Structure 1
Amino acid sequence: MFHQPFSLLCLPFAGSGASFYRGWPDAPLEGRGHIVPLQLPGREELFGEDPFVDASEAAADLAPRALEAAGSDVPLVLFGHSLGAVIAYEMACVIEKTSPGRLRRLYVSGSPGPGGGRSERATGLDDEEFLARVHKFAGYRHEAFDVPELREVLLPVLRADVAMHEDYRPGYRAPLSMPVVALRGADDALVSREEAHEWSVTTGGGFAYRELPGGHMYLAEDPVPLLRLLSDELDLSEMSDELVDGRSDAGASR
């Protein structure tokens, strides 16, 4: 059984920071997992640093810091949502090379596979159109963007994150050896079930698809079903048959 404690490394979505995960309760992980929010530059305590502009460069910078923050004696699990899913995937590629065996599973949420993307873009639009397009994409708008003083501070970081996501083009990557699980809100109008399944090509270690209640930003609506799903799945030392064959469409309520 996967009773050994693990560190759950969490990557934020575009425009957000580590504080989004700092408020998550540990209780649903039943003492097995320790949430480690990863901070991106340009926000919160790293406000004075320039934001990343390239996902692979972001991963190369974040991976060693994540390993240090997690500690040396625990297995790692990576979780990222939307832009965070792309960075988490790039980080998984780095960690697999530099620290083989440390990363046990990769959870990619609310994102097409790394070779996908969308034809409709927000980059280059004026401020109001940009925010409207991002709201349309995510189905979520943080109230801070309705305060002019805060919007002036936050908008450059959101623009940088959105451009990094929209410009992301993965290079050739050998399949990962660890299992990959694609997550999606059941009512997500931005990322389809088929697009979430595109992640299956990124691994030779087993793939699964899971749906949770809610839309694209299901984890902002209620993180508890996600944490319970992680707790249930990470109590296993090996992949179940449904995970290995990649056919599972089971949700958190299964």
Structure 2
Amino acid sequence: MSRPIDLLALPCAGASATLYARWPRALPDWLRLRPLELPGRGARMDEPRVEDFDRLVTLLCQEIQPRGPYVLFGHSMGALLAHGIARRLHAARRAMPLALLVSGSPAPSRRDSARYADLDDAALLADLRRHGGTPEAVLAHPELRRLTLDTLAADYRVCASFSYRQTALLPLPIHAFAGRQDDIGAASVEAWGGETTGSFALDWFDGGHFFIRQHEDAVIAAVVRALGPLAATPRHDRPAPRAAATSRPG
């Protein structure tokens, strides 16, 4: 019998918790989706956006109050935030997630923060279209386009404010997900394995940066497969050997 696990999911830059709106229908009963909404969007639209990485991680750590076993999942900027949260919780000796799942993101040590600094509307629009995650109907609507660009710009400032610092490795499994046609290089994704003393695994999917939407059912199935053994294993009995299981792109 599988024990229940909460799946705390963080959105990518410019997005809200609705990124995961269709996930519950495909998840088993033991895996309970708990989307983490960021200030300034969705259900938290009336709150001011937080545009600094460390301040946002601090806020999210304050808001996370685990009721039992949980894992962290994040796509793109969400992966960076999930890693920052896990690091902060580990340093504070707070209840840690069973695993860290990261999607569509280079490892923190491979991120180019300067790439997100001081982008104008034209550059932001070019990024949105290159990644393909925003419907053209949204970009064609003046008010929706303005809201999308403002949210993306705020999130890019979060990314620009990130500075990688070498700290203790995380004592938990890390599982990465990546798109074969994304412009993030394989070595930058594989570098996630250097962030943990536990196991590391990597699944590749066809598609670009938003493979998570293009192949949503396959991604969800991979998440369930990755977490299945944790649902069946009490945390204090769970081994944490150093290992690597990486499916190469091809």
- Please give the range of the TM-score, normalised by the shorter of the 2 chains: 0.7 to 0.9
TM-score after normalising by structure 1? 0.85
User: Cα 1:205–1:122, aligned 2, differ >3 Å: closer, same or farther?
Assistant: closer
Output the CA distance in 2 between the equivalents of 1:60 and 1:38.
14
Cα pair 1:80 1:109 within 8 Å, conserved = yes
Residue 116 of structure 1: CA displacement?
Answer: 1.5
Q: CA deviation at 1:139?
A: 3.6
TM-score normalized with structure 2 length: 0.86
C-alpha separation between the residues in 2 aligned to 1:227 and 1:114?
A: 24
Instruction: Tell me, yes or no, if structure 1 residue 43 matches structure 2 residue 47.
Output: no
Letter in 1 for 2:78: G
Q: Does 2:72 correspond to 1:78? A: yes
String of CA shifts for 1:144-193, please: whole Å, max 9, x gaps.
222112122232111010122133212232100111112101222x2121
Q: Taking every aligned residue pair, what percent have the same amino acid on both sides?
A: 30
User: More deviation in 201-210 or 120-129?
Assistant: 120-129
Q: Distance in 2 between matches of 1:239 and 1:181?
A: 16
Distance 1:133-1:21 versus aligned 2 partners, 3 A rule: closer
Query: Which structure 1 segments of 5+ residues have no match?
Result: none
Q: CA RMSD in A?
A: 2.4
CA, structure 1 residues 204+53, in 2 after alignment: closer, same or farther (shift >3 Å)? same
- In the alignment, does 2:97 pair up with 1:103? yes
Letter in 1 for 2:212: L
CA contact (8 A) 1:110 1:184 kept: yes
Alpha-carbon spacing, 1:133–1:120, altered in 2? closer, same or farther (3 Å):
farther
Of 118, 124, 134, 1:130 maps to 124
**How far, CA to CA, are the matches of 1:35 and 1:221 in structure 2?**
20
Shift of 1:234: 1.3
1:142 shift after superposition: 3.5
Q: Unaligned stretches of 5+ in structure 2?
A: none
Contact between 2:75 and 2:102, CA under 8 Å: does it hold in 1?
Answer: yes
Task: Give the one of 163, 184, 187 matched to 1:191.
Answer: 184
2-structure distance, mates of 1:120, 1:145: 25
2:166 paired with 1:204: no
Q: Is the 8 A contact 2:175 2:226 kept in 1?
A: no
What is the SS of the residue equivalent to 2:37? coil
Alignment pair present for 1:146 and 2:140: yes
Distance apart, 1:59 and its partner CA: 1.5
- Using the TM superposition, give the Cα deviation of residue 62 of structure 1 relative to its aligned residue in structure 2, in angstroms: 0.8
CA contact (8 A) 2:13 2:156 kept: yes
